[in-house]
């Protein structure tokens, strides 16, 4: 009869016990990207509001600013997808 003694459980690996520094770095990178996007959105809204106060309508400046905002949103979305794809939630 083959019996095993489970009283001596193996210690957990270091990676399982605490988040790895790589994961922490990824989380911090995502936070930085979100912060940049928020800052850009605020600046964009302020520029558009000032532009409308002057009496301008839809312009080339507004279209360029919208394109910049869209580009930053796409970057953050891609970074978040990559981060999740790498096994993070």
Which of the two residues, 61 and 33, has the higher pLDDT score? 33
**Torsion angle (degrees, nearest 10) of CA 7, 12, 18, 22:** -170
Look up the pTM and report it: 0.40
Q: Helices (DSSP H) in 1-89: which residue ranges?
A: 14-17, 21-54, 60-85
- Give the pLDDT of residue 30: 92
Which of the four pLDDT bands, split at 50, 70 and 90, describes residue 55? low
Residue 22, both tokens: 């790589």
């Amino acid at each position: 009869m083959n019996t095993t003694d489970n009283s001596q459980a193996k210690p957990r690996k270091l990676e399982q016990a605490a988040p790895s520094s790589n994961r922490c770095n990824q989380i911090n990178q995502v936070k930085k990207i979100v912060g940049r996007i928020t800052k850009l959105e605020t600046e964009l809204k302020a520029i558009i509001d000032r532009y409308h106060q002057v009496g301008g309508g839809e312009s080339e400046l507004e279209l360029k600013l919208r394109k910049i905002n869209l580009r930053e949103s796409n970057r953050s979305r891609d970074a978040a997808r990559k981060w999740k794809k790498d096994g993070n939630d």
